[in-house]
Every structure is written in C-alpha cells, then in structure tokens.
Amino acid sequence: MSDSVLPLVEPDLVGIWRKNVWWFGFRWPFSFVLFSWVTVASTLAPEFHLDRYLLTMLAGFFGLVIGAHYIDVAGSSDKYLPYFPKMNRTAIRAVGLLAVLAGIAVGVYMSLVYSIWFLVFVVLGGFFALFYPIEKPKWLHSYAGFGVAWGFIPVLASYYIQALRIDLVGLGLAVFLGITVVEMHHMAVLTNEREYAPETNKNARLLLKIHRTAAYAIGLILLISRLV
C-alpha cells in the first residue's frame, strides 16, 4: 500500500510527522497540549517559581513526551509499521525506558530540593509512563486511565510543586483538566474511525484543532502574566 493511500490511524500522523518515526514519537501537537495544561496549573498556583516550572516541564518531557510515547510506538509496531517499515522497535523501546528513568530522576531531584512529598507524584507518574502504553493492567489503558495519567496527575503535581500544598483550587483544576484531556482523546478517536461518516471525522478534526489552539493560547497568556 503506497504512502499516499495509507489509512489515517492517528490524527497527527500526517505531513512532516510521517517522515521519521523518531520525530513522530514526540507526538508534538498533543505533547504541547500537555505542556499547556501543566503551564496553566503552575501559573494558577498561589506562588510561581520559574525554576520549579522548568524542572516540571523537563520531567514531563522525558517521562511522558519521550518515554511513554516511544514505549507506545514500540508496543504498537503493527499499527505504525506500514508508515515506518524500517523502524527499530528494540531501539525505540530502549530509548523510551531510559527517558522514563530520566524523568523519574528529575522528579526525585525536585523531591529532595523542594518537598519529599513530591515523591508520591514521581512514583505515580513513573508508573503511568511505563505501564499505560503497554496496556497492562488492562484497566489502565482506558479513558479513565488516560484522564488520570495525562491530565489529573500532571496537573496536580504541577500545582503542588509550586504551592507545596494541595487545596480545593488545585484539586478542582486537576479534575477539570483530567476530564478535558479525555474529551481531547475522544475527539482524536473520532477523527479516524471508519465506521463514522466523513462529516463526523472532519468535524472532529476541526474541534481538535480548536481545542489545541485554546490550550496553547491559555497556557502562553498565563505564563506571560507570571513573567512580566
């Protein structure tokens, strides 16, 4: 099957993202949404510390953006093999595992410097980064699991490391954004399911673009408000 007629299996598996599996593995369009929600949580905390924010982003970049995504690509090789027939599954998985460990190391450092209780988030984040993409246990790879792994935990952790406490504002924000990323995930599913009408796929892609744009804008505006 030629590259031009391959079925769309991911809404971001288009254009430049189809050129190289290592580049695609970053899943940048959606990773930037994660960074946006982390930014929102960090900037809405009672205090904002730039060093903690940058370390939080670094931990997320290693653990979730590289680690979890690369492990997912390696574990779903049959899904992506038509697009990347020369992909080295073993190398991709190894880099993913090393990246998760690097993210955990950054989190441990943050725990030792700022709050030992942050280790709770490091352990949970590491667990989800390792086991969500391999779909074990099965209940983890679900909408609820996705909302916790990619929304609730990162947001609450980002809020906590800034404020060094969990209050109702931070908890409410984590619940809201946990639900929001599930909505984003469902829109992504609707973009490529063949049993739906083409109009549904098209509308889902449009809504997904609007969602990403809103996330980017909110995160950037709130970050600027903290820096100026």
pLDDT at 14: 72
pLDDT at 6: 53
Q: What is the mean pLDDT of residues 133-162?
A: 91
Q: What is the mean pLDDT of residues 198-202?
A: 81
Q: Which of 36, 144, 21, 39 is nearest to 93 (CA)?
A: 21
Q: What is the mean pLDDT of residues 170-188?
A: 93
The separation between the first and the last C-alpha atoms of the chain, rounded to the nearest angstrom, is 53
Q: Report the chain's mean pLDDT, rounded to a whole number.
A: 90
Peptide bond into 137 cis (omega under 30): yes
| Element holding 227 (H helix, E strand) | helix 198-227
pLDDT category of residue 200 using cuts at 50, 70 and 90: confident
Cβ atoms 103, 85 nearer than 8 A: no
pLDDT of residue 53 exceeding 50: yes
pLDDT of residue 15 exceeding 90: no
Instruction: Give 99-121 pLDDT, tens digit per residue.
Output: 999 999 999 999 999 999 999 99
Report pTM.
0.90
Looking at residue 5, the DSSP 8-state letter turns out to be G
